Amino acid sequence: MLLMLGLVWNSSAAGDKPEPGIQFTNAQWAAILKKAKTEKKLIFLDAYAEWCGPCKLLQKNVFTKKEVADYFNKRFINVKMDMEKGEGVMLSQRYPLEGYPTLLFIDGNGKVVKKILGYQNPQELLAAGKSVK
């Protein structure tokens, strides 16, 4: 049985333990915005769809990298949202998407500070994270 628990996991073999990576919160969007304001942090939103191949590659090959995870876990409130289910449907209306994956950096007021479309390798994602203030 796999439990998400805010960790990224590699399920290549039965019984694998979760690997450290970007820690994503499962909180409701309103609570995430409030936390971003309180902690004076930006939100990193991975807007994905379950069927999206490049989204799965980000999850497997980028979000699990120690350097990326260390930077993002320290500086952002990290959120993964399936934009075709649950709260993601509402967010996809608020933040219209051109494709998947879309990576958004959003302030505590809900304003998009930076938007990136498509797969990013670890170095590109880290550079994008460092470019936002």
Q: What sign does the dihedral 118-88-126-60 (CA atoms) show?
A: negative
13 catalytic residue (yes or no): no
Q: How far apart are CA 67 and CA 3, in angstroms?
A: 24
96 catalytic residue (yes or no): no
Q: Which residues on adjacent β-strands are paired with residue 43? A: 77, 106
Burial class (CB in 10 A: 0-12, 13-18, 19+), 78: buried
Q: In 3D, which of 15, 126, 98, 123 has the Cα closest to residue 115?
A: 98
Which of 8, 33, 36, 55 is catalytic? The answer is 55
Q: How far apart are CA 64 and CA 4, in angstroms?
A: 14
Number of C-alpha atoms within 13 angstroms, CB side, residue 92?
A: 19
Which of 36, 45, 52, 104 is catalytic? The answer is 52
Active site residues: 52, 55
